[in-house]
Amino acid sequence: MFRCFMRPLEKSLGEGWTYGILKNLGNRFGFKLHKFS
């Protein structure tokens, strides 16, 4: 569900923009984003 929401959002905002935000938050809270991808 989460990826289904984020993928079109990423397309509209620009490639990698949303991923960059999530990765930044992920690093801040100490979890690795690649586990969810």
Domain total in the chain: 1
Whole-number pLDDT of residue 4:
65
pLDDT tens track for 1-37: 566 666 776 676 666 677 788 788 878 777 665 555 4
Whole-number pLDDT of residue 21:
81
**Residue 13 CB partners (closer than 8 Å, separation 6+):** none
Whole-number pLDDT of residue 25:
81
Whole-number pLDDT of residue 23:
80
Instruction: Indicate whether this model's pTM tops 0.85.
Output: no
Query: Is residue 25 within 8 Å of residue 33, measured between CB atoms?
Result: no
Range of the domain at 11: 2-35
CA–CA gap between residue 20 and residue 24 (Å, rounded): 6
